[in-house]
Structure formats: C-alpha cells, structure tokens
Structure 1
Amino acid sequence: MTQPTDHRHIRTTIARFLDGETSVAEEKELYNFFRLPDIPADLKQYQPMFNWYASLGDSHDEAAPADIAGTENRASASRVRLLELRPWQWMGIAAMLALLLSVGFIFRSPSIPEEYLAYEGSYIIRDGKKITDLRIVVPEIERTQQLVNESLGEIDMSLRTADSAFDDAVLADEDLSDPMVKDLILSTLEY
C-alpha cells in the first residue's frame, strides 16, 4: 500500500519540478527514485532526464549521457552539411552579401545635408570655372545673401531717416495750431 502513495507523491513532485517549484531536497529525492530499477512504465519517460540532472550534481568532469552525446553528434553533422552547399548556392549567398554591403555603403556614405537641397542646380563661376559642388556653392550663396541683407538694412535705415526728416520739414512749414490741418497732415504722413 505504501508503493502507490509513494508513486503519487513522486508524480506530484515531478509536476512541481517541471513548474520549477521544488526544493533541492525534493530534487535529490527524484534523482534517487529514478536510479531505482523498478520504475512504473508511465514514469520511465522521465528517467533519462533525471539521471542526467543527477549526473550533473555527481561530477562535472564526467562525459554527458548517451542521449546528449547523440544530440551533439547531430549538431556537428548539421554544421558539416553547411559546407556541402552547391556552387550556385554559394553564389547566391555571395550575391546577397554583396547586395547587403552595397546598401550599407549607400546609407553610410556622406550625403548632402537637407538644407542644401534648396540650392540643387546652383553654381558659381570663379576664375572662369563653373563650380557646382554644393559644399562650396552654398556657403558662397549664404555670404552673398548676408551682404545683400546688410545693404538692405542700410538702405532701409537711410529711407527712415529721410522720411522722418521730410515729416519734420513738412510739419515745420505748416501751422499746426488748427486741429483740422494738423489731423490732415498727420493722416497723410502715416502710411
């Protein structure tokens, strides 16, 4: 009667082990159970796994169990298969790598900044030679634009000075004691 109870306990402990909820003592109990020769048929599927876990705790220098060694052999066989590609497959791989490298270099290469795109097609002539390189043309255009803005600022200042002088002269010549005349002149000068 104790056997079925032990098996039920082992089954619940296996379920807890697979959920990652067992203690070290419970795991050792499972390892010891699966070392026994008379394991129920429905639990035999877990025996290689628990024997492998038990062997990890026994010695780190021991060779892996046969099942794990078999998977290593399959992994090395698949690595060898990689080398057995046909020449056209290698050509496809080489073409794909060349395409990826080309795309990488295109996106990596220095491109013209976005602010230069407005100047596309612009050029300057220096010493009789036409220069279309935007890295040279754009700073030259910006310097010229700055000079034009400064000149326009000076012209605007001169016009304001002339305007105020004219306004002062007109106001000085007229008799502004009459409110109607004063309003008429001031409204005419405002624009």
Structure 2
Amino acid sequence: MTIPALALDLAGGLCVLVSLYYLWAKSSTYWHWSNASLLPYFLLFLSGKQWMFAGLQVTYLLFGLHGLYLWHLETRRARGEIQFNERGWYGVTWAASLLIFAYTVAATDFSAAWNWVQFAAVTLALVANFGTTRRWSWSWPVWVAVNAVQAVYFWHLDYWVLFGLQFVLAAMSIYGWRQWRRDDAREVAFA
C-alpha cells in the first residue's frame, strides 16, 4: 500500500502545528503531538530518499521520548521530590542523536548540491532541538533559521505543505521566543 506524499505531508504538518501550541505553554503534551508527526514525516522522507531528514525523524523520536521524561523529572525536581543527574541524562540523548546523524550523513551522497542544504537544515535542527529539550529560549531563533533553510529545500522537492508550514512555524517560533523570554524575565524577577 502506497500512501500519497501529500497525505503524509498533511498529517505530519497538522501534528506539528498542534504540538507548537503546547510548546508555547511548556506543556508536556507538546512531546506527544511532536512524536505523532514523526511517522508520516519519516515515511515521506524515506520514500523520497532524503536520508538525513529520515534519520532526523528517528533523532526527533529519541529527543521526544527523552524530552518527555526529562520534563517529568524536572517538574518533580522543582517540587523538591527528587534529584537527578541532569548532565548524564541529557548527554545520553545527545550522544545517540549524533550517532544517528553521523550514520545518515555517511549514507548521503554529497555530490548533489541540495544535500548540503539538507545537511545545514538537519544540523541546525539538532541544535535547536537540544535547546528545546532544555527549555532554553535561544532555541526559538535557531528554529526560525531551520525553517528558512527547510523552506528552500522543501520548495525544491515540491513538498508544498512542508514548504508553507515553514512560514507558519517561523511565525509561531517568533511568538514562542517572546513568550519564553517573558517567562525567563519573570523567573529572574522572582528568584
């Protein structure tokens, strides 16, 4: 059974839009919706032989499952219920993601110029995702850069929903950045 690329594109895009609504609020529901977008996107990129983007979906799944659990641990730590080795927990996911990234880079033919654009987008996305798992405000402008690079790439591939989605995501990222910076300022004021 073959699923049309447009259907995969639409399903993934819808899940991403819903996930960002929850990310603005720093709600763990973000991770559920974000993870739900990964299967349609993985299948879309796999069918188009976009190895780095397909590998990125696997990396996102690692970050998604790990991020969900870490946000749970951080919430419990904030309530004074537990302590945990934050560096170790974050380091494991980052190391696994870099291994997946290295594998997908090795499987990619860099004689095609567009694969360098894919490489730039995936590299920026890994950095942005790491900042997001830590709830660092600077991750939002990096996501805007990811959206800009991906818009060019998805236009080239005729993935029109993903192309249009990049502009929506960039606008949502600017809004999220403003929200998180406000939250950061409040936390500093109350500290």
TM-score normalised to structure 2 length: 0.23
Structure with greater helix share of residues = 2
Tell which has more relative contact order, 1 or 2 (C-alpha 8 A, sep 6+): 2
User: Considering only CA atoms, is the larger Rg found in Structure 1 or Structure 2?
Assistant: 1
